[in-house]
Structure 1
């Protein structure tokens, strides 16, 4: 099965249940696999592999202490948010050499959560530029790592030049309730964007 392009219902309704595809993205080691695993009600499909020399000079593992594996394709999970809403989660690979897969993974998605590690703020520029260029609604989630610098949300917004209309939230990718709030923010933001585009008569491209 081609999970990357699997569209459980970018915006399809069946038997009164709405399902939507959400992408979990970000740079190397920001917590994407952890986030999907923290909330998925099924055993997550992961494609973790031991890091090799192929990433040397591209991604710096020294900035992520203790990290020995990396996602080489994607993570996949599912969460029932309400009786009538199911979200399918697709986590992108973080290492730059695997970013060619992102276009396939976002196909059919209604929105994305872009994780940011405050220890490596500048690593977020490339993922943010990617979603801006694809016109896909996204939310920025500051993942709280133990011992990491703590910044005010608006400080990060200014540092990364994030538009005022893009939601920016704090989260802990290890905690289910925190992750759930991030996902609800993505859904709500995507719905607002779609409604605004509809009102203007120019539907937002999705995926």
Structure 2
């Protein structure tokens, strides 16, 4: 079974991999930086800047009024699965004006987590379209914010108009175990995709 590594498309056997690249994507303020920080075994690399008055006039802060910083390049974290397999996590910037970076960040990615906030579900449409158009396996992680309405996985799937084959998982990205379960779901999904496509899990 073939998987993608951080240097290019799916080429190696899982047992022989040294690095697996995963993306954490989604809209502005959905919890990407928090998720990378919750699961990373190292102090995550962050490229956050304080929100300025100019940025506040562009970015929709509805539902995340307390947010004071934003990722302007990427977040980076690492998880060692075993001596042969290391996961490298890349959190993408959420605002539309930084999407030019997504193409480069997605090169060699095994798959992606698309984080969703049910209060601003439309914010993750762009991420879903991006990975669908490039054939990159993804799962949807619904970050259950305090005070937000809770919808079951089928309701979220219908609202996003995604196929039954795409896993949808409710989670709290502040909680390490909850966030890890989303990553496990992604790895399992990517393995299924690799089996059905002859090893070509993404672009």
- Structure 2's unaligned 5+ residue stretches are none
* Aligned residue-pair number: 199
Runs of 4+ in structure 1 displaced over 2 angstroms?
A: 5-19, 52-59, 81-85, 203-207
Q: In the alignment, which residue of structure 1 is the partner of 2:125?
A: 125
Distance 1:124 1:9 in 2: 25
TM-score normalised over the length of structure 1: 0.88
Report the CA distance shift for 1:58/1:135 in structure 2 as closer, same or farther (over 3 A).
farther
Report the CA distance shift for 1:16/1:131 in structure 2 as closer, same or farther (over 3 A).
closer
Deviation, structure 1 residue 194: 1.1
Q: In the alignment, which residue of structure 1 is the partner of 2:66?
A: 66
Deviation, structure 1 residue 11: 5.4
Aligned to 1:74, the other structure's residue is in SS state: strand
Q: In the alignment, which residue of structure 2 is the partner of 1:109?
A: 109
Distance 2:162 2:15 in 1: 38
Deviation, structure 1 residue 119: 1.0
- Residues 115 and 140 of structure 2 are in contact (CA less than 8 Å); yes or no, is this contact kept in structure 1? yes
Q: Deviations over 1:117-150 (max 9, x none)?
A: 1111121211111111111000000011111110
Q: In the alignment, which residue of structure 2 is the partner of 1:168?
A: 168
1:177-192 equivalences in 2 (<5 Å): 177-192=177-192
Bigger fraction of residues in strand: 2
Q: In the alignment, which residue of structure 2 is the partner of 1:154?
A: 154
Distance 1:91 1:188 in 2: 20
Distance 1:8 1:177 in 2: 29
Deviation, structure 1 residue 9: 9.0
- Residues 24 and 89 of structure 2 are in contact (CA less than 8 Å); yes or no, is this contact kept in structure 1? yes
- Residues 8 and 88 of structure 1 are in contact (CA less than 8 Å); yes or no, is this contact kept in structure 2? no
Distance 1:27 1:82 in 2: 32
- Residues 39 and 176 of structure 1 are in contact (CA less than 8 Å); yes or no, is this contact kept in structure 2? yes
Q: In the alignment, which residue of structure 1 is the partner of 2:202?
A: 206
TM-score normalised over the length of structure 2: 0.89
1:75 and 2:75 are equivalent in the alignment = yes
- Residues 23 and 106 of structure 2 are in contact (CA less than 8 Å); yes or no, is this contact kept in structure 1? yes
Aligned to 1:72, the other structure's residue is in SS state: strand
